[in-house]
């Protein structure tokens, strides 16, 4: 079985740099794995794949089968970590046009406060057979709770007593508004573990249920998680890519590289970057610290942002995500007239040309002194996607402890919520 590979040869990092930071990185890993760091009670994701009960796992599969058999589409209600991981997985594995090419179609709500968005979505799905998955630990997150009010009413009008069979809830085990409502209404309910926070929860029912309902093979996903745990928990600085990635990021940050751009060369991986941005931004962005996570899709964005990356302020570095085997492909046809002068690449595949575009960009950015870390994935399926998720989560935990912040809290998010509720007139916050 091939592994995900990390290449830092284009990062301008030398062996001496790695030797210097190694003790800090190893100490941070020890805190994480031995659960000695701050908020260690929120590190349940480390071994969740070994702890999930067989009964719960089979119930997830049965619920997913019901959704697939009884609906043309399902709506995933959630925000942040409650939907980003699932969306990333579904789009990466099923592809860019999955809603047009397969069923059930997947739509998202509860991730914004746009009435226009909701109105258009309702119009789109009104005549379809639908199910709902609502994900919220508290049940009180404004965006998701408001959307759930709208869709719960719609479901109860459309399906009457059957509505409860078409609504699936992922929430806290014991407390919260959504748990209370679920118990009252009789919705099928799955648990968000107490020891796993939102941005780390894609490996729990938060991600597993919508993934399975969309037709992904979660057995392969769990195999990938177990493989990842075995590989990425090794306490070997030179052999563990998570340790090297965390080290490289921190070395570059200490050289005033304040922005990390996750670069994709496959459009289907765009949402992986959105999940990644929350993971690192919410985990490290506190106490005036952290690298700002951004993303670009190449070659598309080379024609809009490439100039800045190449010659703008020297405050950024890239992490390029490369899929070695992207599956479907096309060859460039031969044109007898050769009007566009492209016959020199006739017979070449688009994926080959895309790989050359990466190499050319890599060399150009090296000339421009833009550091580039390269993560290579053999192919984008459930197994390797799980390994990629775990790779980033492990690297993030280590990196957070390295800069001496709590990578498992989000006080800034709570501040925004408090002010919003106050301005809306909530009496007690």
Q: Please give the Cα distance from 387 to 214 (Å, whole number).
A: 20
Is 284 within the bounds of a domain? yes
Instruction: Clarify whether residues 278 and 358 are in a common domain.
Output: yes
Q: Is the pLDDT of residue 119 over 90?
A: yes
Q: Is the pLDDT of residue 105 over 90?
A: yes
Structural domain that includes position 356: 5-37+222-411
Specify whether 282 is catalytic: yes
Question: pLDDT tens, 253-277?
Answer: 999 999 999 999 999 999 999 999 9
Specify whether 417 is catalytic: yes
pLDDT at 427: 67
Question: pLDDT tens, 48-79?
Answer: 999 999 999 999 999 999 999 999 999 999 99
Q: Is the pLDDT of residue 429 over 70?
A: no
pLDDT at 10: 95
**Chosen domain end from 167, 182, 216:** 216
Counting the structural domains of the chain, the total is: 2
pTM of full prediction above 0.85? yes
Instruction: Clarify whether residues 88 and 211 are in a common domain.
Output: yes
Is 419 within the bounds of a domain? no
Q: What is the mean pLDDT of residues 324-344?
A: 92
CB-based contact 69:61 (threshold 8 Å): no
Instruction: Clarify whether residues 137 and 66 are in a common domain.
Output: yes
- From 260, 274, 282, 318, active-site residue: 282
Instruction: Clarify whether residues 257 and 398 are in a common domain.
Output: yes
Q: Is the pLDDT of residue 416 over 80?
A: no
Instruction: Clarify whether residues 229 and 358 are in a common domain.
Output: yes
Instruction: Clarify whether residues 49 and 107 are in a common domain.
Output: yes
Specify whether 341 is catalytic: no
Supply φ then ψ for residue 428, to 5 degrees.
-120, 125
- From 55, 123, 160, 303, active-site residue: 303
Instruction: Clarify whether residues 255 and 209 are in a common domain.
Output: no
**Chosen domain end from 159, 184, 216:** 216
Beta bridge partners of 168: 133, 188
Instruction: Clarify whether residues 203 and 64 are in a common domain.
Output: yes
| CATH number, domain with residue 126 | 3.40.50.10490
CB-based contact 114:148 (threshold 8 Å): no
Q: Is the pLDDT of residue 299 over 60?
A: yes
Q: What b-and-e string marks burial along 406-418, b requiring 16 or more CB atoms within 10 Å of the CB?
A: bbbbbeeeeeeee
Question: pLDDT tens, 172-187?
Answer: 888 878 888 888 899 9
pLDDT at 328: 87
Is 427 within the bounds of a domain? no
CA atoms within 13 A on the CB side of 18: 16
Q: Is the pLDDT of residue 366 over 70?
A: yes
Is 421 within the bounds of a domain? no
Instruction: Clarify whether residues 172 and 255 are in a common domain.
Output: no
């Amino acid at each position: 079985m091939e592994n995900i590979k990390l290449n830092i040869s284009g990062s301008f990092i030398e062996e001496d740099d790695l030797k210097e930071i190694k003790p800090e990185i190893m100490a941070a890993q020890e805190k994480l794995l031995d659960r000695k760091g701050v908020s260690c009670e929120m590190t349940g994701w480390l071994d969740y794949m070994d702890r999930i009960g067989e009964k719960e796992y089979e119930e997830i599969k049965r619920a997913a089968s019901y959704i697939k058999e009884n609906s043309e589409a399902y709506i995933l209600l959630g925000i942040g970590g409650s939907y980003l991981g699932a969306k990333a997985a579904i789009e990466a594995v099923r592809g860019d046009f999955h809603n047009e090419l397969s069923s059930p179609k997947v739509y998202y709500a509860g991730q914004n406060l746009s009435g226009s968005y909701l109105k258009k979505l309702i119009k789109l799905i009104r005549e379809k057979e639908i199910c709902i998955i609502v994900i919220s630990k508290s049940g009180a997150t404004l965006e998701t709770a408001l959307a759930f009010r709208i869709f719960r009413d719609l479901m109860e009008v459309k399906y009457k007593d059957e509505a409860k069979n078409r609504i699936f809830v992922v929430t806290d085990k014991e407390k919260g508004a959504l748990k209370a409502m679920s118990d009252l209404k009789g919705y099928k309910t799955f648990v968000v573990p107490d020891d796993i926070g939102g941005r780390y929860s894609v490996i729990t029912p938060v991600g597993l249920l919508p993934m399975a309902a969309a037709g992904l093979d979660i057995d392969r996903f769990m195999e990938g998680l177990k493989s990842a745990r075995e590989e990425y928990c090794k306490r070997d600085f030179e052999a563990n890519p998570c340790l090297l990635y965390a080290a490289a990021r921190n070395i570059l940050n200490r050289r005033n590289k304040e922005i990390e751009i996750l670069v994709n060369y496959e459009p289907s991986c765009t949402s992986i970057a959105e999940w990644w941005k929350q993971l690192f931004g919410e985990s490290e962005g506190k106490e005036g610290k952290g690298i700002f996570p951004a993303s670009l899709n190449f070659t598309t964005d080379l024609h809009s942002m490439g100039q800045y990356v190449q010659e703008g302020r020297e405050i950024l570095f890239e992490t390029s995500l490369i899929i070695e085997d992207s599956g479907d492909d096309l060859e460039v046809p031969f044109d007898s007239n050769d009007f566009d002068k492209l016959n020199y690449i006739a017979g070449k595949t688009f994926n080959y040309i895309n790989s050359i575009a990466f190499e050319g960009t890599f060399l150009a950015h090296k000339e421009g002194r833009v550091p580039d870390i390269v993560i290579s994935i053999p192919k984008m399926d459930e197994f390797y996607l799980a390994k990629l998720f775990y790779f980033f989560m492990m690297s993030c935990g280590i990196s957070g402890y390295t800069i001496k912040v709590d990578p498992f809290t989000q006080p800034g998010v709570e501040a925004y919520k408090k002010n919003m509720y106050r301005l809306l007139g909530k009496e007690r916050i």
